[in-house]
Structure 1
């Protein structure tokens, strides 16, 4: 495979702002390099997907400096909001857009920009089957131009847990992830024994974080619900080890990498029935519970069932343990991406 230029956000390795998209980009870059691909990262600073003028100019200069026919994998967060930068390079470069979450799911005003970009590039890679279907339906893309490369997961030891009472919510504290819904649901089961960690970046939406902190205090849950900020390495592994149930009340979720990370440790999942979440959990020997999105009462009822029914806990833990060996590693993700890049040609659907 020829040299591969990968355009990523400049904060890809910022430990204070972890995200699923950044984690995906970093891992596939490493896996592709390990497989012998010459990966050349192009990290561009900016308030993506709504960058300021200097960031647009920086991205434009970076692309203009690439030789004709260069293969470029574009992180969708960077590329899909700036058709004025991307479209002029279509045809000269081999452009493949990597879409973690359609921009229109969080900001409808960006949908038309994304549509223009995705029709101009030579191929599109979605990180879940749900995302691929969504892009085809929302933007009228030919299905043959949209490929899927789901995130991988690393093998991990079984989590010993905390006897059923250890709840974990993992993800940046933003309205999309729905921690406010979880706090309200936890208030409805405050008479049960549990603790809950809200683990994730707190710098993306400070006003939302302040609102979640306020709700925790208003419900009298200080000391039981802890906002830890982002955790990595041994601290994150210790948090996983103590968790009995991953709770993901997201309003929007294209895939949910933290779900497979939990399943790799045999931790069951309680999640909102959104986006690609049902595809991860499957329809046989389901290692978790799905509830309607945005429904605090349903979320509280599911938490109550988990806390009150040891039999349900045992059943879901067994299902999660059985799912562990079926999870694909990151090498599979990288191989899918490499195949798309190798088949893409300027102006020709891959």
Structure 2
């Protein structure tokens, strides 16, 4: 469910564990933004507050990468951190371009919460080179790392040439529908029901999530063999959304693909219940909360071999893994499940059986808090 490893010691004066901690949580953008990373941040914030800690949220504006780099040479962020009078600062690593030099000027312990390492996504050669340099410098500037998956931790280790600071792994959780009570018999009837394969994609409509790959795969199926519902934001990459809409029209799939926009709560739970499987063929996922969510409702999941989906999906058991951009391979799996409903049922039952083994949010947040307190215990014990 999570693991914690404390190595070395931090400077005197850190977190004695004898009073509520005063923790800074620094990120880019609005805490209420819709994505797995922001959901993680909200869950952590709520848990720490429930445990009696004081948490100060420091939000940096969303700006172009090069403009964030320039923030390292100003004092505005530094002044906000100092004014908060913190014991420790947790930074969302997505803010790394604004902090990789600035962190050297912060006189309290700084930990990074790594949801995604930009340099391991696919970029133009010059972009990847720049991201690697900046992220390596950033990881060297922090006192510790909180990683959201073993895959992310391994990537951090690679960037740091094997020399990791104190770290823990606290995976995101999928228990976002506590009132949902999946009915095994309903799942059975759903899987064996003849007709189109009802496919759900839960993810913002951005290039990285791979909706275009899924549509290219669906173009290889007979239109009457599927229906696709997409639940996710439509305002993040307007150019990509326009491309998707044109692709749907040009391929004659207008009546088979539905773009729902943002869907939350009970309505999202209803979508999970009404579909046969969840597909998210991302170019990269550092974990994939929706893969776990879907299995609570007995949906097999299809993801890609890039990133941490392999920590959730057992190929051929509770879903499939395909190479990124492999529309042909994805189409083969979809055709197989559409034709072989007994196989779909077995995979649905396997998905439902796998779900209880995943961490809940309290498990993951507890790992992080113990990690924070662990520094203090080591120091108090004279370690």
TM-score normalized by structure 2? 0.82
Q: Note the C-alpha offset of 1:205.
A: 1.2
3-state SS in 1 of match to 2:252: coil
Offset from partner CA, 1:42-84 (integer Å, 9 cap, x none): 22222275545679754333223243x7211111112355313
Offset from partner CA, 1:100-152 (integer Å, 9 cap, x none): 01011235222211111111110011100001001111232524533211012
Offset from partner CA, 1:239-292 (integer Å, 9 cap, x none): 122121000101111110110111122211111122111111247x83111122
Of 243, 247, 258, the match for 2:290: 258
Does the CA contact (< 8 Å) of 1:94 and 1:344 recur in 2?
A: no
Show the counterpart of 1:237. 269
Does the CA contact (< 8 Å) of 1:49 and 1:78 recur in 2?
A: no
The runs of 5 or more residues in structure 1 that have no matched partner are none
Does the CA contact (< 8 Å) of 1:99 and 1:125 recur in 2?
A: yes
Q: Distance in 2 between matches of 1:231 and 1:51?
A: 32
Show the counterpart of 1:61. 79
3-state SS in 1 of match to 2:348: helix
Does the CA contact (< 8 Å) of 1:21 and 1:100 recur in 2?
A: yes
Show the counterpart of 2:152. 131
Does the CA contact (< 8 Å) of 1:32 and 1:39 recur in 2?
A: yes
Does the CA contact (< 8 Å) of 1:81 and 1:114 recur in 2?
A: no
Does the CA contact (< 8 Å) of 2:143 and 2:165 recur in 1?
A: no
Is 1:71 paired with 2:103? no
> Are residues 9 and 229 of structure 1, via their aligned partners in 2, closer, same or farther at CA, if it must alter by over 3 Å?
same
What is the root-mean-square deviation in Å for CA atoms of aligned residues?
2.4
Of 13, 37, 40, the match for 1:24: 40
Is 1:209 paired with 2:230? no
Of 115, 135, 139, the match for 1:114: 135
Q: Distance in 1 between matches of 2:233 and 2:66?
A: 20
- When Rg is computed on C-alpha atoms for both structures, the one with the higher figure is 2
Q: Note the C-alpha offset of 1:236.
A: 1.4
TM-score normalized by structure 1? 0.89
3-state SS in 2 of match to 1:83: coil
- Comparing 71-80 with 256-265, which one deviates more in the overlay? 71-80
Show the counterpart of 1:311. 342
Show the counterpart of 1:158. 182
3-state SS in 2 of match to 1:152: coil
Show the counterpart of 1:292. 323
Q: Distance in 1 between matches of 2:67 and 2:303?
A: 32
> Are residues 6 and 93 of structure 1, via their aligned partners in 2, closer, same or farther at CA, if it must alter by over 3 Å?
same
